[in-house]
Amino acid sequence: MGRFDGCVALVTGAASGIGGATALALAREGARVAAVDVREPAPEQREALLAASPKSAFHELDVREEDAVAATVRQTVAAAGRLDVVVNAAGVAGGGPVHLLDGAEWDRVLDVNLKGTFLVCKHALAPMMEQRGGRIVNVASVEGLEATDGSSVYAASKAGVVLLTRNLAVDYGRLGIRANCVCPGLIDTPMTRMLFQGELVEPGRRFVAQHQLGREGRPEEVAAAILFLASEESSFVTGHALAVDGGFTAGHRMGVLEMLGLGGAGR
């Protein structure tokens, strides 16, 4: 028996990365998954999902297009009869200091990361309200909790996701709908690998070093946290932003232990 037997889940950004890992984990736990993305998944990703849950399906969707979002939610509910879990993992990277940031770039990042999350939640709420229950898990970021240099628009978009999530918890909790978000640190995904190219290699290494566990996370580790928030194991948790960040937001090392000859403490 899986934790999500009989459940219907909609996962955005499901072609790869955190969304892909989450869609597969839900399917392996018994969920029927509507996996959506703006692009096709790799064949092995599709095969693994359908092997785990034969009634699952992939759909092409741009989360910025409201009519398409509404149609995908309607199609999912029509096919499966309900909608229990929504995971908003679709997202894009972007940033730069504000005085150098082009307005079109600001719009692009906000449209996908924040507006896309809003649109999926908006249309998923209708069936959840009717059935008086549901779980929403949005993917934010540690950069939605605290600033990093040059993150500007990305940080703004993810901070918006955190507060949107909390408002969902306040507005819909009385209807049995829970809303939480995860705030990943640096996770090894296709989107983050650009941090280790060209002149970004050294800043990328410094970013990794600020995670207290000394490494990047894996998509499967974030998926595990998402499944907890989407399951009945977290039935009294709503409005929470869970950092899944290897200790990035726990604090910062100042070199004192190294001065004392204890730099390897705990390893």
| Residues that are catalytic | 154
Distance CA 22, CA 27 (A): 9
What tokens appear for 14 in the block?
């499901």
Q: Compute the CA torsion angle 106, 215, 225, 34 (nearest 10 deg).
A: 60
DSSP-based three-state secondary structure for 149 = coil
* Non-local CB neighbours of 66 within 8 Å, separated by 6+ positions: 119, 123
Please report, as a single letter, which amino acid is at residue 165.
T
Distance CA 123, CA 120 (A): 6
What residues are paired with 88 via a beta bridge? 12, 138
